[in-house]
């Protein structure tokens, strides 16, 4: 096996690599670095994610560029902001004592900051195609003296529609230069691009390697409508879960992340429509493990370098085997074991078999955890929490209260009641789930005629998840129907308007006796990352209301509605009236106009204005 010395690198570079702990080059590094150092032909380098492709072009650039000449000699284009930043950081870490200077240019950062860095003089520019073109058109970036034109993740850039931008950038470069393409896959479009813009080139390829020894690969056969339930059970079982869940589209990512957060899980989402500052904030939380679950698209996940991931879950099956390899390659690294899970519907079974054949991996079918397993795990958590509390001094203040209660009843009865009061909701949530799931019916999805699950969506007058005569989404809420806005009555009569609010639970309800309740308005919603768990925690922490007493939680984009017993409402409202001068309380009794709003601030009669509400 080759070492870095045999590749032709200088002693200075070898010392830097040794300091970083790099001893043996990867296959693609051993194949491509000598070719780049020879300075003869253009190169297409094909290798999967995580094989050190950045070092393949970074090390030769550091070796060959003259740091005394303050001219841009290399332009590197990458598809995402994260990847641009990552490539720049990697070059900086590999250059050692070299004075080669780099600049990262990407959208989401003030262009003036980037202009100042370019003006000071750099040798290597790493950028996204769009922002690179922006600088060229402004006259703040000239590429007439570059010697290297490098495309990183070329296949992904073509998938994202950057071909025209790439061609525009190429027009600004001199004819005499080396063109280097780095790609995980080799579609026909890459070959056409090479034929058009590259001279004589060499195609080097490292064989795809799955981390089969360290990554346990399993799959579950579930119907589309049962995916969320299956995922929830898996996340309950895997107590130390720290991983990425892949979805096909941005909409799927948003929907799944929201539902997980509503269940009180520490999750967030990442896709191309999220602003750069927010992306960096989310990735920071994920790296620091303030969140354990990142729901993402393939494109958004490119360039994310997070170690120690325990799981990768393919909520949507990958489009091709190469994507499968790239996804699961993010776990089972650095000698640590990982788990790759794939959800497969009946119509996707052949695709799963093809992936299995292509990768030659042992992908094992398993059963989704049963209800009783979830109950047992939750009970163990309760017992563990109780044991921990017993060792804390803070419990001493409750001891006298416990003695008084024991004088009035038996210990067994009291413990039973206290367990039900404190944890009954969590346990009953599992045991009370209705209907058998697709994986519990005794017949594998791929052998069963699944029209009753999926093909019904194609029947006239039916949409996905609809049953005859009713329109319900998977979460059980009313969907929008023709002629009807969410939260708006279908007709104009007061009677229809009242019926509609009763259906959605958005009406302030007054009942006689013990069941009297009040509908409350909270000036925080999905934009503030609120979910069911966070709403309950907020009200409990501030006003002392137990989560069991909070029901009909309806979370909109900018605000939320909840229902509580009337007595609780009084104490909640009293607490939240202690707001800053000139601002409305965060929590108020819901009124007609608020309840008619669609939760997105779209109703002109009610707008949530920034700074108008006090925050906890």
Percent of the chain with pLDDT over 90: 28
Q: Check pLDDT > 80 for residue 457.
A: no
Q: Check pLDDT > 50 for residue 462.
A: no
Q: Which two tokens stand for residue 545?
A: 């209301």
Q: Higher pLDDT residue, 37 or 156?
A: 37
Average pLDDT over residues 8-14: 91
Alpha carbon 127 to its chain centroid, in Å, reads 23
Alpha carbon 237 to its chain centroid, in Å, reads 20
Among 214, 224, 220, 266, which residue's Cα sits nearest to residue 243? 266
Q: Higher pLDDT residue, 197 or 11?
A: 11
Confidence (pLDDT) at 117: 92
4-205 and 478-596 share one CATH topology? no
| pLDDT band with cut points at 50, 70 and 90 for residue 116 | very high
Q: Check pLDDT > 50 for residue 473.
A: no
Q: Check pLDDT > 90 for residue 155.
A: no
Those residues with Cβ within 8 angstroms of residue 296's Cβ, 6 or more apart along the chain or in another chain: 244, 245, 246, 247, 253, 269, 270, 271, 304
Average pLDDT over residues 487-491: 40
Q: Using one digit for the tens of pLDDT, what is the confidence trace for 584-608?
A: 788 988 876 665 554 444 443 344 4
End-to-end alpha-carbon separation of the chain, Å? 61
| pLDDT band with cut points at 50, 70 and 90 for residue 49 | low
Q: Higher pLDDT residue, 444 or 149?
A: 149
Q: Higher pLDDT residue, 464 or 364?
A: 364
CATH 3.40.140.80 for the 4-205 domain, yes or no: no
Q: Check pLDDT > 60 for residue 106.
A: yes
Domain ranges of the chain: 4-205, 215-368, 372-431, 478-596
Q: Are strands 293-296 and 267-270 parallel, antiparallel or unpaired?
A: parallel
Sheet (strand 267-270) strand order? 267-270, 293-296, 243-246, 311-314, 338-344, 215-221, 364-365
Q: What is the dihedral of CA 452, 458, 460, 462, to 10 degrees?
A: 70
Percent of the chain with pLDDT over 70: 76
- CATH of span 478-596: 3.30.70.330
Average pLDDT over residues 412-421: 79
d(CA 256, CA 213) in angstroms, rounded, equals 30
Alpha helical stretches, state H, 198-304: 227-237, 250-262, 276-287, 298-301
d(CA 265, CA 533) in angstroms, rounded, equals 8
Q: Check pLDDT > 70 for residue 534.
A: yes
Q: Higher pLDDT residue, 460 or 90?
A: 90
| pLDDT band with cut points at 50, 70 and 90 for residue 435 | low
CATH architecture of 215-368: 3-Layer(aba) Sandwich (3.40)
Alpha helical stretches, state H, 312-462: 321-328, 349-359, 371-390, 399-408, 411-431
Average pLDDT over residues 300-320: 83
Q: Using one digit for the tens of pLDDT, what is the confidence trace for 320-375?
A: 787 888 788 888 776 678 899 999 998 898 889 888 888 888 898 988 877 777 67
Confidence (pLDDT) at 454: 34
d(CA 211, CA 213) in angstroms, rounded, equals 6
Average pLDDT over residues 73-87: 90
**Spatial contact of 575 and 543, defined as CB atoms under 8 Å apart:** yes
Q: Are strands 178-183 and 201-205 parallel, antiparallel or unpaired?
A: unpaired
d(CA 189, CA 192) in angstroms, rounded, equals 5
Among 13, 24, 35, which residue's Cα sits nearest to residue 181? 35
Q: Are strands 42-46 and 201-205 parallel, antiparallel or unpaired?
A: parallel
Q: Higher pLDDT residue, 434 or 520?
A: 520
């Amino acid at each position: 096996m080759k070492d870095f010395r045999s590749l032709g690198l200088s002693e200075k570079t070898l010392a830097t690599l040794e300091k970083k702990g790099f001893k043996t080059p990867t296959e693609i590094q051993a194949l491509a670095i000598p070719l780049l150092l020879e300075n003869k032909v253009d190169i297409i380098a094909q290798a999967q994610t995580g094989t050190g492709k950045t070092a393949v072009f970074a090390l030769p650039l550091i070796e060959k560029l003259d740091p005394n000449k303050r001219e841009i000699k290399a332009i590197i284009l990458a598809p995402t902001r994260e990847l641009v930043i990552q490539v720049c950081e990697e070059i900086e870490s590999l250059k050692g004592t070299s004075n080669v200077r780099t600049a990262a240019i990407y959208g989401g950062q003030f262009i003036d900051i980037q202009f100042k860095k370019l003006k000071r003089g750099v040798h290597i520019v790493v950028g996204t195609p769009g922002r690179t073109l922006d600088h060229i058109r402004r006259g703040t970036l000239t590429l007439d003296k570059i010697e290297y034109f490098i495309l990183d993740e070329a296949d992904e850039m073509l998938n994202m529609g950057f071909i025209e931008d790439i061609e525009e950038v190429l027009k600004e470069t001199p004819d005499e230069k080396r063109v280097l393409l780095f790609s995980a896959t080799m579609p026909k479009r890459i070959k056409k691009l090479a034929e058009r813009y590259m001279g004589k080139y060499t195609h080097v390829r490292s064989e795809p390697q799955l981390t089969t020894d360290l990554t346990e690969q399993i799959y579950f056969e579930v119907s589309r409508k049962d995916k969320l339930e299956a995922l929830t059970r898996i996340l309950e079982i895997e107590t130390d879960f720290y991983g990425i869940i892949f979805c096909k589209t941005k909409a799927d990512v948003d929907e799944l992340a929201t539902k997980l957060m509503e269940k009180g899980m520490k999750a967030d989402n990442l896709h191309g429509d999220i602003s750069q500052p927010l992306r960096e904030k989310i990735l920071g939380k994920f790296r620091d493990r303030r969140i354990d679950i990142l729901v993402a698209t393939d494109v958004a996940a490119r360039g994310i370098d997070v170690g120690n991931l325990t799981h990768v879950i393919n909520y949507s099956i990958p489009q091709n085997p190469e994507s499968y390899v790239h996804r699961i390659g993010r776990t089972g690294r650095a000698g640590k074991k990982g788990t790759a899970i794939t959800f497969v519907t009946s119509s996707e079974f052949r695709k799963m078999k093809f992936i299995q054949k292509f990768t030659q991996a042992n992908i094992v079918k398993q059963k989704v955890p049963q209800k009783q397993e979830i109950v047992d795990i939750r009970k163990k958590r309760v017992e563990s929490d109780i044991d921990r509390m017993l060792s804390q001094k803070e419990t001493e203040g409750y001891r006298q209260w416990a003695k008084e209660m024991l004088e009035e009843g038996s210990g067994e009865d009291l413990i039973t009641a206290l367990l039900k009061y404190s944890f009954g909701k969590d346990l009953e949530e599992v045991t009370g789930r209705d209907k058998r799931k697709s994986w519990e019916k005794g017949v594998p999805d791929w052998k069963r005629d699944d029209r009753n699950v999926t093909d019904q969506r194609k029947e006239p007058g039916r949409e996905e998840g609809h049953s005859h005569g009713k329109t319900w989404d998977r979460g059980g809420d009313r969907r929008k129907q023709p002629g009807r806005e969410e939260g708006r009555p279908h007709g104009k009569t007061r009677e229809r308007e009242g019926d509609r609010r009763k259906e959605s639970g958005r009406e302030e309800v007054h009942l006689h006796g013990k069941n009297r309740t009040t509908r409350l308005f909270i000036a925080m919603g999905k934009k503030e990352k609120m979910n069911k768990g966070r709403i309950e925690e907020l009200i409990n922490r501030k006003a002392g209301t137990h989560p069991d007493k909070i029901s009909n939680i309806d979370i909109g984009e900018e605000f939320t509605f909840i229902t509580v017993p009337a007595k609780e409402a009084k104490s909640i409202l009293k607490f939240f009236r202690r707001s800053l001068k000139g601002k409305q309380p965060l929590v108020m009794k819901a009124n007609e106009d608020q309840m008619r709003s669609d939760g997105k601030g779209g109703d002109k009669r009610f707008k949530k204005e920034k700074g108008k509400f006090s925050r906890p």
